[in-house]
């Protein structure tokens, strides 16, 4: 599969603080990619670097094989971007927003935009400030899609939506993925919100990529091990340890390998997996010993 997004040693520094550094990603075209991490982890910085709203302090970005999106209007014409909280002009009518979109974007599809708005039951004459949060999100999505992008980037698209509006938003988004074969990158601080829709995952914490890959492959490579807490094993595959008095749970990257004798392995869920990497990033463990994780 060809790559939609490639970053090499990408970094962004604000004064002395690195908001993002050493970011190497290769994200496949056609995937629905969840970018997950706590608030302040560097998610928005990464998204803004991808769409050229910020210039990198280090490294490079390329979209669909074209380098430097910020410098290339052609690359940016293929990208739809919706910033956090769906910023749209609140005093504009929906029809005026569409007019604005048509004037600013060469590949604008007015029919598509109007049809989408109509299907949602939103009156074109309505001022956007009077729409519900869910409707505003849908209008912002319709505007981004009317550009006919190959890549759609959404920053926290569902965080502010109630459960029903969230579901409706993701329904429209997934149907569009089927119709257009679009690549979608969407961020959230809550992976559970995106679990059903994503097939690719990027976990960011503390300005660094902690984990990236195909969801199914990642779930296949990790196990939760349970065993006695004395003589805890250690090694490069150990991601996070939860220790009780007599037993411990370990999230480990051991694939199908048999766990150590006396330890039981079970499959891991997506939320558990993300949490393990976020905790590892927050409390880095001391240098691993040579003890082996699997026998």
Partner 1 sequence: MFVFQLDSTSGVPPYLQLVHQVRQAITVGYLREGDRLPLIREAVEQLAINPNTVSKAYRQLEHEGLVDPRPGVGTFVARAPDVTVSPAQYAKLRRGLERWLREAEAAGLDDHAIGALLAIVRRDVAEEGAA
Work out the angle between the directed axes of helices 133-146 and 110-119 (0-180°, nearest 10): 160
The span of 98-106, 166-174, 242-250, 282-290 binding partner 1 (CB under 8 A) equals 166-174
Using alpha carbons, select from 8, 22, 6, 35 the residue that is nearest to residue 207. 22
Using alpha carbons, select from 69, 266, 247 the residue that is nearest to residue 150. 69
41 vs 82, which CB is nearer to partner 1?
82
168 vs 234, which CB is nearer to partner 1?
168
Burial category of 118 from C-beta neighbours within 10 Å (exposed 0-12, middle 13-18, buried 19 and up): exposed
266 vs 282, which CB is nearer to partner 1?
266
Closest approach of partner 1 to the CB of residue 290, in Å: 33
- From residue 28 to residue 47, what is the string marking binding to partner 1 with x (rule CB under 8 A)? ----x---------------
- 175 in contact with partner 1 (CB under 8 A): yes
- From residue 78 to residue 117, what is the string marking binding to partner 1 with x (rule CB under 8 A)? ----------------------------------------
Using alpha carbons, select from 106, 113, 80, 82 the residue that is nearest to residue 4. 80
Q: Which residues contact 226 (CB under 8 A, 6 or more apart)?
A: 247, 248, 249, 250, 263, 264, 266
How many residues in the shown chain lie near partner 1 by CB under 8 A?
17
Binding test (CB under 8 A) with partner 1, winner from 206, 257, 269, 279: 269
- From residue 51 to residue 70, what is the string marking binding to partner 1 with x (rule CB under 8 A)? --------------------
Closest approach of partner 1 to the CB of residue 271, in Å: 10
- From residue 110 to residue 149, what is the string marking binding to partner 1 with x (rule CB under 8 A)? ----------------------------------------
Closest approach of partner 1 to the CB of residue 9, in Å: 30
Binding test (CB under 8 A) with partner 1, winner from 167, 189, 208, 279: 167
Closest approach of partner 1 to the CB of residue 119, in Å: 12
8 Å CB contact between 173 and 184: yes
Binding test (CB under 8 A) with partner 1, winner from 36, 82, 170, 225: 170
Residue 211 pairs in a beta bridge with: 203
- From residue 185 to residue 224, what is the string marking binding to partner 1 with x (rule CB under 8 A)? -------x--xxxxx-------------------------
- The rounded distance, in Å, linking the Cα atoms of 181 and 178 is 6
Closest approach of partner 1 to the CB of residue 198, in Å: 7
Residues that bind partner 1 (CB under 8 A): 32, 167, 170-171, 173-175, 177-179, 192, 195-199, 269
């Amino acid at each position: 599969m060809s790559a939609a997004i490639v970053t090499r040693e990408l970094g962004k520094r604000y004064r002395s603080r690195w908001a993002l550094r050493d970011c190497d990603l290769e994200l496949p075209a056609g995937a629905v990619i969840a970018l997950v991490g706590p608030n302040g982890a560097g998610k928005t910085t990464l998204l803004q670097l991808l769409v050229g709203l910020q210039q990198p302090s280090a490294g490079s970005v390329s979209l669909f094989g074209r380098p430097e999106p910020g410098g290339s209007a052609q690359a940016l014409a293929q990208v739809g971007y919706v910033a956090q909280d769906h910023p749209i002009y609140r005093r504009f009518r929906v029809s005026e927003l569409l007019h604005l979109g048509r004037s600013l974007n060469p590949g604008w599809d007015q029919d598509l935009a109007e049809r989408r708005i109509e299907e949602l039951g939103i009156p074109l004459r309505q001022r956007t400030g009077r729409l519900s949060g869910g409707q505003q999100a849908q209008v912002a999505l319709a505007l981004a899609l009317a550009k006919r992008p190959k890549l759609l980037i959404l920053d926290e698209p569902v965080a502010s939506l109630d459960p029903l509006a969230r579901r409706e938003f993701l329904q429209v988004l997934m149907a569009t993925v089927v119709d257009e074969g679009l690549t979608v990158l969407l961020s959230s601080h809550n992976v559970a919100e995106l679990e059903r829709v994503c097939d690719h995952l990027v976990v960011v914490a503390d300005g660094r990529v902690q984990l990236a890959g195909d969801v199914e492959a990642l779930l296949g490579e990790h196990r939760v091990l349970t065993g006695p807490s004395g003589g805890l094993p250690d090694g490069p595959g150990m991601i996070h340890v939860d220790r009780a008095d007599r037993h411990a749970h370990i999230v480990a990257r051991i694939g199908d390998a048999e766990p150590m004798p006396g330890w039981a392995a079970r499959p891991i869920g997506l939320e558990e997996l993300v949490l393990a990497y976020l905790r590892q990033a927050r409390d880095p463990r001391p240098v691993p010993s040579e003890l082996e994780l699997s026998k």
